[in-house]
C-alpha cells in the first residue's frame, strides 16, 4: 500500500512574478520520500490554487489561460 500527497502554497505574488512552495510526500512499501521545493513563475498567471499547476479544474478562472 502506498500513500501519496502534494501540498502547494503561494509565498509571494505580484503582476508579473510569483513564488510558491510545494511539498510532495509519499509513504509506502516501494516509495518513501519527502520533497520540499520552492518554485517561481514569470508572466501573468492565475494564483497557484486556481492554476493549471495545481490539480483543481473546478476553481480555475476560465477568462485567464496559463501557458508554460
pLDDT in tens, the chain (68 residues): 889 988 888 899 888 888 989 899 999 988 899 999 998 888 777 776 666 555 555 555 556 555 55
Q: Kindly state whether residue 59 falls inside one of the protein's structural domains.
A: no
SS3 48: helix
Residue 6: what pLDDT? 87
Residue 54: what pLDDT? 53
Q: Kindly state whether residue 64 falls inside one of the protein's structural domains.
A: no
User: CB under 8 Å to 10, separation ≥6 — which residues?
Assistant: 18, 19, 20, 47, 48, 49
Phi, psi of 49 (to 5 degrees): -70, -15
Indicate the number of domains in the chain.
1
Q: Kindly state whether residue 61 falls inside one of the protein's structural domains.
A: no
Q: Kindly state whether residue 6 falls inside one of the protein's structural domains.
A: yes
Q: Kindly state whether residue 44 falls inside one of the protein's structural domains.
A: yes
Supply 4's cell numbers. 501519496
Q: Kindly state whether residue 65 falls inside one of the protein's structural domains.
A: no
Q: Kindly state whether residue 17 falls inside one of the protein's structural domains.
A: yes
Q: Kindly state whether residue 62 falls inside one of the protein's structural domains.
A: no
Give burial (CB, 10 Å; 0-12/13-18/19+) of 2: exposed
Residue 27: what pLDDT? 94
* Domain, as residue range, for 7: 2-50
Amino acid at each position: 500500500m502506498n500513500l501519496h500527497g502534494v501540498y502547494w502554497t503561494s509565498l509571494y505574488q505580484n503582476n508579473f512574478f510569483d513564488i510558491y512552495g510545494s511539498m510532495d510526500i509519499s509513504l509506502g512499501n516501494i516509495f518513501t520520500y519527502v520533497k520540499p521545493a520552492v518554485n517561481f513563475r514569470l508572466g501573468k498567471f492565475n494564483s497557484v490554487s486556481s492554476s493549471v499547476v495545481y490539480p483543481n479544474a473546478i476553481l480555475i478562472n476560465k477568462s485567464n489561460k496559463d501557458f508554460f
